[in-house]
Every structure is written in structure tokens, then in C-alpha cells.
Structure 1
């Protein structure tokens, strides 16, 4: 049986994912805190992990390497509400097998969990060329990541007013912006 560890701080979403994926044959356990995730992974020894990128006061990206070292053959999918090419590349570089943007339907998540490393697909990265709005969004996300989330410093580096940057950050990219 496939064992799935869901590391998600949104208790309702974690319960929904566990229920839906449990119906698909996974034995599911949930973990809501980054600090407990490695211990739970060591005790449960999952074959699959669904990891949220933003965990309350932690970044899920920082858990990828330790989880990968503990469970080298686990199939890991990173979920995020703020998808960007920069974070997708970083997640894969750190060892995640797949990267999906929230909200994600059950079938898409199942497909991501069953994909092998050789055929990994990235929900956040499409085959079509990026629109100018999407390129701007990706660039802003990259500069913001380089500044550890500091909006004021990011605005200075981008040569824009901080409020303008904050408005742009509130606008999430849509599928047609890809």
C-alpha cells in the first residue's frame, strides 16, 4: 500500500486531501507543523509526500532536502498558492519530484503523485510562451525571493514605489497569463 504524508498547515485542506486520497488507495497521515514533519516522516515512513510551500512560520522549501535525505525514494509533490517559475525551479533543484499550484483537483494531484522522475511535469510551467504580464510576475517573484520577501528592498531594486509593488503582488497570475 502507498503511504502518503500530507504536510499542510491548513487543517481543513489537509483533512480534505487525506479523505480524497485515502479513497484512492493511499494510507494517509497529516502533519501541520514543519517542526513535526521530519519526526512523523521517520515514524510513518511514507512512499509519497505532499508538502505545502508556506507552512505558518516556515517555508516548505527548507524541508525538501532533509526529507529527501531521510527518504531518498519518496515521491514528493510541493503545493503552493503562489506559483512561480522561480519557486518551481528551486523546488525541483532541492529535490521535489513535482510542483503544483493550489487549488489542485484530485486527479491532477494523483497524476503528480504517480509520475516518475523521468516524466515529471510542472503544472506551473506551460508549453506556451509566457505573456508579458506573466514574465513581469515571474521577475517580481524572483527578485522578492532574492530579498527574502522584503517588499521595500524589492521595490527599490525594481525601481517602483512600494505600494505599486504591493498591488502587483496581490494580483495572482491566472492561467491565461502563462
Structure 2
């Protein structure tokens, strides 16, 4: 038996319907973010979590600690992906994680964002931040955007909480410093879910 759903006609003019989400909003089919977005938009969304982690990791100096922080963020993402659709962040994140798990290494490489080389760290950070802004612009109006924002912030927080400092493993600390907190606050300011 087909369920009947009343839809406000004004919603049909909403851009989400034109992106192929009508049936997902009505709960008829699960989200498949890779199929539902354009290739360019998917690339932005794909790069958003690690761009956010990079923004946080670069905020307090970079170097070897940055590698540890980005590894920690990647491990957090992998642990969420292994939950197989049960991340707790919602269908949008679960769909992205499923798409990531389903792609080849070569496909993942082609999706990586290419940044303009610069000797100025601030210019590089600005490019990475713009990736987050652009990725969020794609996601903000989609169902589950709030879960995506929380997940991206948690990925970035995992980078900030990586044990860093010290020498040869001695004296490492796992705490968020002032620069990392400022970067996390900036990310939270970017990823505000618009009011309905």
C-alpha cells in the first residue's frame, strides 16, 4: 500500500526538490549523496571534513604535530565509517561515509582538492577555509545538515585533541590550545544551519 503524503506546493519550488531530494524528504528512498549532488558539489562535500581538520591543525603552527593531528582526524572518520550507517550523525553523514568507503584509492585521489601553492601560510589557510565555506554552502539546505555540521566539528576536534608536543613520545599533551579553539569557533560560525 502506497502511503499518501500531503506536500505544501510552495515546497516544490524549493531548490532541494530540484536537486533530486523530493523522495528523500518524503522518506521514500534513502539518501545517496554521491548520486544526488553534482560531481563538483560532491567534491566540495567530500573535502569539507579534512579541510576543517586542516584549518584547526594549521592554526597552532603546523609541522610534525599537524601530521599527527590530521592522522587523528582521519582515524576518527574511519571509526565512524566502520559503523556502517549507524554513525549517529544522520543519513547525510552516513551516505557520505558509505560513498567514501565504496570508492577506489584512485577515485579518492581525483576528488582531493588542489590548492594554489603559496609561500604564505595565511594564504594557504584561507584556501582551506574557503573549501569549508563552499562545502557547507552545498550542504546547508539539505536534510541532515545539522548532523553534518556536528560531525565536521567533531572531526576537527579530533585533530585538536591529538597528542602533540614533547619529544620522542615524552611530554605529549592532548588538549585544545587557544589557536585551535579559535579555529573551532570559526568553523562553528561557518556551519550554522539556516532557519526553516
More strand per residue: 1
Question: TM-score over 0.5 for the alignment?
Answer: no
TM-score (norm 2): 0.27
- The higher-RCO structure (CA 8 Å, 6+ apart) is 2
Q: Greater CA radius of gyration, 1 or 2?
A: 2
More helix per residue: 2
